[in-house]
């Protein structure tokens, strides 16, 4: 303000206007903004690692759940323990090697296996008469009657040795093997006449072996209990009639040499029981 009519006097000076906020507040705000920007950058940079940790956790969880199924692999690992048959395969040649060497030293390797078979290379000795089956003719020709004779010291020389050759395994009564009674010297089989069922007391002969189920040359054996090894030798086609010595034991009719062998009803009280005796054992 100045008085009217007075001339204003110029005066030098500087107008200073104070700020609304203190300076340190600005510094603080700038630092906060910088920290916020830095935090945002760090968050963006590390956020993928969070998802990867989640997948790793899932993989760990899957890995911890997978052990229950391996309870079945032990069952699949059991077969590898059964593979030792592969170790037995190499052992079989080792066990076979002595077998090939044994015939070389013994010389009669082809005849030894039948000797181990109780149905091979045997004499048919009657349990009542104690005589052995043999063809009546020394030549053992086809059609020769089969009879009983005193068991010989050299039975093969008198045609008293037989092989019971299996023709039909397990096809007889009670799953018994059906066999032929083949004389190892003559090569013929004990045979009722004809091809069908033979009658009671039918005589027996030597005939060419047929190995046929339709013929009547097949027999099956029934071991008698508590008999010391006696067998009924039953004819398959003839309704199970037994190999028999003609005549009755209780009358002494069956005791002599040359008595024909026939078919008769099986009994443990007559002469239908037979021993299979190895020649070396008399």
Distances from the Cα of 81 to the Cα of 72, 85, 87, angstroms: 15, 9, 11
Tokens 């037995």: give the residue: 88
% of the chain residues with pLDDT over 70: 65
Residues 117 and 119: their CA atoms lie apart, in Å, by: 5
* Residue 265 DSSP code: -
What is the average per-residue pLDDT within 38-58? 62
Angle, vertex CA 115, rays to CA 147 and CA 267, nearest 5: 40
pLDDT value at residue 37: 87
Residue 86's pLDDT band, with cuts at 50, 70 and 90, is very low
Tokens 């020709």: give the residue: 141
Query: Torsions phi, psi of 147, nearest 5?
Result: -135, -175
pLDDT tens-digit map of 31-45? 889 888 888 888 787
Structure tokens at 246: 């003609």
Flag whether pLDDT at 146 surpasses 80: yes
pLDDT tens-digit map of 161-180? 999 999 999 999 999 999 99
| pLDDT top residue among 29 and 99 | 29
pLDDT tens-digit map of 190-210? 999 999 999 999 999 999 999
**Cβ atoms of residues 201 and 223 within 8 Å:** no
149 closest CA partner among 267, 275, 259, 248: 259
Sign of dihedral through CA atoms 48, 49, 51, 52?
positive
115 closest CA partner among 280, 230, 257: 280
Model's pTM, two decimal places?
0.59
């Amino acid at each position: 303000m100045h008085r009217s009519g007075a001339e204003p006097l110029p005066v030098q000076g500087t107008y200073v206007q104070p700020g609304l906020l203190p300076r340190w507040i600005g510094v603080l705000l700038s630092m906060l903004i910088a920290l916020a920007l830095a935090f945002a950058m760090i968050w963006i940079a590390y956020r993928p690692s969070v998802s990867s940790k989640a997948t790793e956790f899932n993989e760990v969880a899957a890995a911890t759940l997978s052990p229950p199924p391996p309870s079945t692999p032990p069952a699949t690992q059991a077969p590898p323990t059964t593979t030792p048959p592969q170790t037995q395969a190499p052992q079989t040649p080792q066990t076979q090697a002595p077998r090939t060497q044994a015939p070389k030293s013994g010389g009669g390797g082809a005849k030894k296996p039948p000797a181990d078979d109780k149905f091979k290379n045997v004499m048919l000795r009657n349990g009542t008469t104690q005589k052995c089956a043999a063809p009546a003719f020394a030549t053992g020709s086809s059609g020769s009657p089969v009879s009983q004779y005193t068991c010989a010291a050299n039975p093969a020389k008198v045609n008293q040795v037989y092989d019971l050759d299996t023709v039909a395994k397990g096809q007889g009564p009670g799953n018994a093997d059906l066999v032929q009674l083949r004389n190892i010297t003559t090569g013929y089989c004990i045979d009722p006449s004809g091809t069908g069922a033979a009658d009671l007391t039918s005589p027996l002969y030597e005939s060419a072996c047929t190995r046929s189920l339709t013929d009547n040359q097949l027999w099956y054996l029934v071991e008698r209990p508590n008999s010391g090894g006696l067998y009924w030798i039953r004819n398959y086609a003839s309704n199970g009639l037994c190999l028999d010595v003609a005549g009755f034991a209780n009358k002494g009719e069956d005791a002599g040499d040359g008595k024909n062998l026939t078919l008769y009803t099986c009994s443990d009280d007559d002469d239908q029981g037979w021993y299979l005796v190895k020649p070396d054992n008399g």
